[in-house]
Each structure stands twice: as structure tokens, then as C-alpha cells.
Amino acid sequence: MDRGEIKDKERTKDKEEVKDREKILEVKHLKKYFKQSGKSVLKAVDDVSFDVYKGETVGIVGESGCGKTTCARTCIGMYPATSGEVIYKGKDISKLRGAEKRSFTKEVQIIFQDPYSSLDPKMRVGDIICEGLRAHKMCKSKEEYNKRAVELLEMVGLNPEHANRYVHEFSGGQRQRIGIARALAVEPDFVVCDEPISALDVSIQAQIVNLLSKLKREKELTFMFIAHDLSMVKYVSDRIIVMYLGTIAEITDSKSLYSDPKHPYTKALLSAIPIPDPKVEKERERIKLQGELPSPTDPPKGCRFINRCKFAKEICAREMPQLREVEKGHSVACHLYDEQI
């Protein structure tokens, strides 16, 4: 048995275990709109529903502007939802108050995309890492804070003496490690990774992804991993959500998405991933999307993908397709799979 077969068996086992785990996050008909100048409204997230199970990594992918970051930030309360519900461990986050709200802000953390703008240049690294610890009063003395800062730095592969330096003295990869240490300092259960590698050099990206995967296993975390690099999302995710213009196009496990994509948009995205085999790469056909990406302030009335889809039917212009399960664990929002057609 080769390594690939072993890895596939491990993934299958992991996914079977996921089904038995509790839901840590339930997103129901979530909408997030932003008012623009005049009367226009930008529909960044428009009627999105999905679940996240404890201990898994859910990847969210799509083109820039598809709403994946807005969706994630609304899910953790950084943006108030326009409508819909976000249920974290059985409680609606919009109704959390007092001690419950503090507990939520401790259990849910985010690793930001840009390590250059997300860290305060006027603060020493040790103080940055300990911000959350101080906010939640998790240490009793200055010595305890300093000790904890050193432990967190070592956890992410940095040296103890780095605690007294400023962020401008570090490389992009080191800054992202500091951001990871800050997020994990308060011992969260659920972590949003908002494109944590997109601002880094390619040579550093694998190091950060491997670090996140290692910490997830060791600390039994649940991740929501946002990215536009589909090959990287495949590597880190148990299940993947494909978003297009504020809506969900497809949801399934990582292996199924890459071996048997259903939505025309997903197929186009996957066809753009280079294959490290010159012969296969030369012979395969790349799917080129036609037409312009519609504006989220004036999306099509029917299927959001209609003006770029070569399979579009009359019903696609009239009705927005609903996300439905077409195979076990594989859901797609496309009229091609509607039995009524």
C-alpha cells in the first residue's frame, strides 16, 4: 500500500469521525448587506447556510469579492448580520450578553490575512501576544504573563528573546507566527484563518500551513480556513465550501470536490490549478470563464453564475437554484441537478 492510499484511508476515517461529532457552528440563511452611496446595497453574503463540526477544518474558497471573508467575520460577530442566524455551541451569537459574550470572544479567534497591518508597530511582541490574556485576566502577575509569552513564542517556532522586539524587526513569515501565537494565547476552540498565507512568499507558505496543521492536531481546534489557493485548501481542509458572488455554489469533502466537482464554477476553478506533470498539463483542457463578473450591488435575479455558464437554461434566468444534496455529503446549487428539469 503506497502513501497516497494510506492518506486517503486516513482522510476517510477522519470524515467518518466528523459525522459523529457535535456541531460547533450552525449558519442559517445568513445575509450581510452593506449600504453604498445613494440607494444601492452591496449583497456581500446572501442567504448562506452551512454547519461546522467540532474538530474539523472547513475551507471556504472563491474569487476575490465572492464574500468568503465577510461571511467568516459575520460568523464570529465582527460584523452584525443583516438577517439570519449564527449558532455557536447552541447559542445565537447575536443574543450573547455579559459573561456569555466574554466567553464567546475568548473561545473564537481569528488569524488575519496581512501580518503587516494586523500587528501594532508601537507594541513589543510579548505585549501583542498577551493582549487577549490581559483582556480575559488569564494570568495573575507580570512574571506569569512573561512566562506565557515565551511559551507561546516557542510554540510557533520563535525564540524567547523575540518577546522584547518590535514587529518591524521581523519577516512576513515571522509576523504571521506572532499573529498565530496571539490568536491561540487565550486557548480558543474555534479559529478563523483569513487567508493567512496569501501575503507571504511562496517559500514561507508551506511552513505556516504545516504549523497551523500541527497546532490544530495538538490543541484539538476547529478551523475555518479561507483561501483562494485551491491546491492549498485541499491540503488542509476536511470539507470545502465554494462561494460565488455572495452565495454557496457547492459543499462537499475535499476529496470529492477535486475528483468529482459538480458546479460549472467549481470545475472552472479546478481547471486553473497547474498539474506537476508536463504531459498531463499539456493535454488537459482548461475551462475559461466567459463574460464579466456581475456586481454584488446588482446581481442577476436567477442564478448568479448565469452570464458565465455555457450550460445555462431558461429556468436559470428566472429562479435562483437552491443548495441541495445530490449525493451523500455533496451539495450543489445548480439547476442542472434539479430533477424537475
Task: Give the pLDDT band of residue 85 (cuts 50, 70, 90).
Answer: very high
Report if residue 20 sits inside a domain: yes
Strand 57-61 and strand 222-226: the pairing is: parallel
Report if residue 189 sits inside a domain: yes
Report if residue 154 sits inside a domain: no
Query: If you average pLDDT over every residue of the chain, what do you get?
Result: 89
Instruction: Name the residue range of residue 209's domain.
Output: 3-122+166-337
The CATH number covering residue 57 comes to 3.40.50.300
pLDDT (tens digit per residue) in 19-61: 567 899 999 999 999 998 878 999 999 999 999 999 999 999 9
Report if residue 78 sits inside a domain: yes
Q: From CA 302, how far away is CA 315, in angstroms rounded?
A: 8
Q: From CA 159, how far away is CA 250, in angstroms rounded?
A: 42
pLDDT (tens digit per residue) in 283-322: 667 777 777 788 899 999 999 999 999 899 999 999 999 9
Q: From CA 305, how far away is CA 338, in angstroms rounded?
A: 16
Between residues 272 and 49, the one the model is more confident about: 49
Report if residue 146 sits inside a domain: no
Long-range CB contacts (within 8 A, 24+) of 300-305: 303/334, 303/335, 304/244, 304/245, 304/246, 304/247, 305/244, 305/245, 305/249, 305/263, 305/264, 305/265
Report if residue 141 sits inside a domain: no
Cell numbers 483582556 correspond to 135
CA atoms within 13 A on the CB side of 276: 1
> What's the confidence (pLDDT) of residue 203?
83
Report if residue 156 sits inside a domain: no
pLDDT (tens digit per residue) in 152-192: 999 999 999 999 999 999 999 999 999 999 999 999 999 99
* Minimum mean pLDDT range among 163-172, 206-215, 332-341: 332-341
Query: Has residue 4 got a pLDDT over 60?
Result: no
Q: What's the number of domains the chain is made of?
A: 1
Q: From CA 249, how far away is CA 331, in angstroms rounded?
A: 8
CA atoms within 13 A on the CB side of 73: 17
Q: If you average pLDDT over residues 201-216, what whole number do you get?
A: 92
Q: Are 86 and 92 in contact (CB under 8 A)?
A: yes
> What's the confidence (pLDDT) of residue 116?
87
> What's the confidence (pLDDT) of residue 6?
42
Long-range CB contacts (within 8 A, 24+) of 322-328: 323/49, 323/248, 323/251, 326/262, 327/252, 327/256
> What's the confidence (pLDDT) of residue 18?
47
Q: If you average pLDDT over residues 245-256, what whole number do you get?
A: 96
Q: Are 195 and 228 in contact (CB under 8 A)?
A: yes
pLDDT (tens digit per residue) in 110-151: 999 988 899 999 999 999 999 999 999 999 999 999 999 999
Question: Residue 126 carries which side chain, given as an amino acid letter?
Answer: G
Strand 23-35 and strand 41-53: the pairing is: antiparallel
Report if residue 137 sits inside a domain: no
